[in-house]
A and B are shown apart, each in its own frame.
Chain A
Amino acid sequence: EVQLLESGGGLVQPGESLRLSCAATGFTFSNYGMDWVRQAPGKGLEWVSAISGTGGTTYYTDSVKGRFTISRDNSKNTLYLQMSSLRVEDTAVYYCAKVVWRQIFDIWGQGTMVTVSS
């Protein structure tokens, strides 16, 4: 069964850092692009970042450029999101999502909550 399991969320203060992980099982991880999508409480979906199957190409939404870094370890079937200089507006559930092709997401993790508050 194809599964994605996020971890690493929590409560941090503004300006602090956090690293999210997404463990993938049930498919050949390195063959697929992966993305992070977030959802603030009671709000809609917001795309955050994408990475190619090899990890050689990455994309970010403007609001996180220079603060977040997406990466992957294909030997561990794990996707990461390193988040620094966190802001209150980064508070959200962060989902990792598998790209079936183009940038269409066929599998989503259950999400991990990140709360940025003083």
Chain B
Amino acid sequence: EIVMTQSPATLSVSPGERATLSCRASQSVKNNLAWYQQKPGQTPRLLISDASTRATGIPARFSGSGSGTEFTLTISSLQSEDFVVYYCQQYDSWPLTFGGGTKVEIK
């Protein structure tokens, strides 16, 4: 099983600033990596697939990068609605696995 490790668990950032979230895989997943956003009481929403492809309707301030074992989700200028939880997910091999999540909070 591929273990996905997200860091930090909590990220404190001021509105308007940049947030950088990390996701590390225990072995290479090539670029088979997705990012999801989950707001409190809501279902996850797909942000990024194939490590760097934004999903339909996702604002350009969200960008993904990386390949192999190291991945990054960057939010260029945090808006109020961005202070929620983010998960990475690998779909390179079974079983599918998610990272433990990063909560972005207001500094």
Contacts and interface: CB of A to CB of B under 8 A. Distances in A.
A103 B55 contact: no
A116 interface: no
A44 B98 contact: yes
Contacts of A60: 95
Contacts of B94: 59
A109 B46 contact: no
B22 interface: no
B96 A103 contact: yes
B64 interface: no
Contact of A47 (B43, B46, B96, B100): B96
B46 A61 contact: no
Interface string A33-67: 00100000000111100100000000111100000
A100 B55 CA distance: 11
B89 A111 contact: no
Contacts of B99: 44
Interface of B: 1, 32, 34, 36, 38, 43-46, 49, 55, 87, 89, 91, 94-101
7 contacts: A46-B98, A47-B89, A50-B96, A95-B43, A100-B46, A105-B36, A108-B45
Interface of A: 35, 44-47, 50, 59-62, 95, 100, 102-106, 108-111
Given A44-B99, A59-B95, 17 more contacts: A35-B96, A44-B87, A44-B100, A45-B38, A45-B87, A45-B101, A46-B98, A47-B96, A50-B96, A59-B94, A95-B43, A102-B49, A103-B91, A104-B46, A105-B36, A105-B89, A108-B43
